A and B are shown apart, each in its own frame.
Chain A
Amino acid sequence: MFAIRTKVRLANILTMRLGGLGMISKVVPAVADAVAGVADGDTILVGGFGRAGQPVELIDALLAQGARDLTIVSNNAGNGDVGLAALLAEGRVRKMVCSFPRQADSHVFDALYRAGKVELELVPQGNLAERIRAAGAGIGAFFTPTGVGTVLAEGKETRSIDGRDYVLEYPIRAQFALISAFKGDRWGNLVYRKTARNFGPIMATAAAITVAQVDEIVELGVLDPETVVTPGIFVNRVVQVPERDWLRGGRFVGQQESAATGATA
């Protein structure tokens, strides 16, 4: 059911995307276009570890887009009152799938959880990553040692293989992935920056429609093929957002002042 539904929607989006036949351009002009088509009830992978690599502008666009009853898969469950926290606060999230919802500034999620207003599927971080990777790699399920003998493996199939115990875990796939990368090109090739890479490369593989926000869209051929981290085959839409505050022209300048440049998005 999942496959049919997403294939039909993907086909619609592909025809929307291609201006002229032949030339591939996955670049969309604005973040609103980047999140077009998210439907009520969708599962969405959202990149980032804490604030590093959070696709902030795409989350804001999703907030404006209006889809409800969402399942959000992300390592954390929002920081402060913006981004995922704002989406949660608006009651748009039915379920969070994450490894570490509780943080110093996760008060929005904490309150909703205690009030029983949001479901939580708690997944060990490595299993979360591997379940996402498995979805992108066409793996039906896998046995992992992580979680064996704990409450997070309760009710799940276990197997002893070569004397070690494992628990069966299933892939996590989604209708959309929203990720943040450093640079991208019109084919969707992506490079990341430092530990902001985190979930981006695996989430890109596991969604019917992967959307990447980047600091800079570069001409085809500018990204060294030897250093491309996410090949464009995994990416459906690329949107440029203002350069992150601590960079200027791609170089680290610290956080003395806010970025004044950047394309409109």
Chain B
Amino acid sequence: MTSRISRDELAARIARDIPEGSYVNLGIGAPTLVSNFLPRDQEIILHTENGMLGMGEEPAPDQVDPDLINAGKLPVTELPGASYFHHADSFGMMRGGHVDVCVLGAFQVSERGDLANWSTGAPGSVPAVGGAMDLAVGAKQVFVMTDLLGKDGTSKLVAACSYPLTGVRCVTRVYTDHAVFDVGESGFVIRELFADNTRESLQALTGLSLTEGAS
């Protein structure tokens, strides 16, 4: 086994790559952790696709307002400078390339940047896509935050996705608990190695041919 960094450490690592002034959408689940590590003294504006810019943190229990929720349907707050808008505007912001960074979870990411994160295609499951496909194609940079290996030990970085696709050639960079990878012209490029991981150990884990790039 190679060593890994924790989910919080990974969230903090992603936060460091988000410059002040960015408009950012954090996907449901682990990506929302990134907000805990965005520097408080910097103005980074969070977009939630149900219709708000300038989203703040979770409210105190007596301040929970059912009219003020995020895309995960959890209660949030509004920061000074916040704005509300309808769904078509909100997804226009996304699809129109106005959002700088989107951080999404993944089941699989392929070498050419295809993303699968909405359905395992399991028979009998009720499909639900939400905004996943819109987020995948819209932001200027699409970051994926994920464990490198699934619960069954198989690599989530793959030559080609076997799960139903969310978007084609849409992923910019993949932040995993083992390393950070850019999606390059000919496969994944290792941008940063965590702990004692090496190119060779990651090639063994993923079964992919990896290159090392400048960080």
Contact = CB atoms under 8 A, between A and B. Distances in A.
Contact of B95 (A126, A165, A198, A200): A126
A244 to B, nearest CB: 7
Contact of A124 (B62, B92, B133, B168): B133
B113 to A, nearest CB: 12
B65 A149 contact: no
B186 interface: no
B134 A195 contact: no
Contact of B164 (A130, A148, A151): A151
A66 B137 CA distance: 41
Given A197-B86, A254-B63, A152 B129 contact: yes
For chain A, the bracket of interface size reads: 35 or more
A100 B127 CA distance: 8
A146 B41 CA distance: 35
B168 A198 contact: no
Contact of B168 (A114, A149, A197): A149
Q: Is the interface of B mostly helix, strand, loop or mixed?
A: loop
A198 B126 contact: no
B68 interface: yes
B29 interface: no
B166 interface: yes
A150 B134 contact: no
Contact of B51 (A99, A144, A198, A256): A198
B126 A148 contact: no
Given A146-B133, A195-B48, A114 B94 contact: no
Interface centre among B92, B114, B168, by most chain A C-beta atoms within 10 angstroms, is B168
A63 B52 CA distance: 32
B183 to A, nearest CB: 16
Interface stretch (A13-21, A49-57, A86-94, A234-242): A49-57
A199 B69 contact: no
A100 B138 CA distance: 19
B64 interface: yes
B50 interface: yes
A51 B90 contact: no
A255 B64 contact: yes
B30 interface: no
A201 interface: yes
Contacts of A165: 168
Interface centre among A99, A150, A256, by most chain B C-beta atoms within 10 angstroms, is A150
Contact of B129 (A113, A114, A122, A192): A122
B175 interface: no
Contact of A52 (B50, B63, B86): B50
B84 A101 contact: no
A148 B114 CA distance: 11
Interface centre among A49, A127, A130, A145, by most chain B C-beta atoms within 10 angstroms, is A145
A99 B50 contact: no
Contact of B64 (A101, A130, A244, A254): A254
A52 B95 contact: no
B128 interface: yes
B11 to A, nearest CB: 24
Interface in B121-174: 124-134, 137-138, 164-168
B49 interface: yes
Interface centre among B63, B67, B68, B69, by most chain A C-beta atoms within 10 angstroms, is B67
B66 A124 contact: no
Given A49-B87, A129-B87, A202-B88, 15 more contacts: A99-B130, A102-B127, A103-B73, A114-B126, A120-B127, A126-B87, A126-B94, A132-B88, A145-B137, A151-B164, A152-B129, A195-B67, A195-B69, A197-B51, A197-B86
| A-B CB proximity, top 10 nearest | A126-B91, A126-B134, A149-B168, A129-B87, A50-B73, A102-B128, A133-B88, A125-B131, A124-B133, A201-B86
17 contacts: A49-B51, A75-B87, A99-B129, A103-B128, A114-B126, A122-B129, A124-B131, A124-B134, A125-B87, A125-B129, A126-B87, A130-B91, A145-B137, A146-B134, A150-B164, A150-B165, A254-B62
Interface of B: 48-52, 62-70, 73, 78, 84-88, 90-92, 94-95, 114, 124-134, 137-138, 164-168
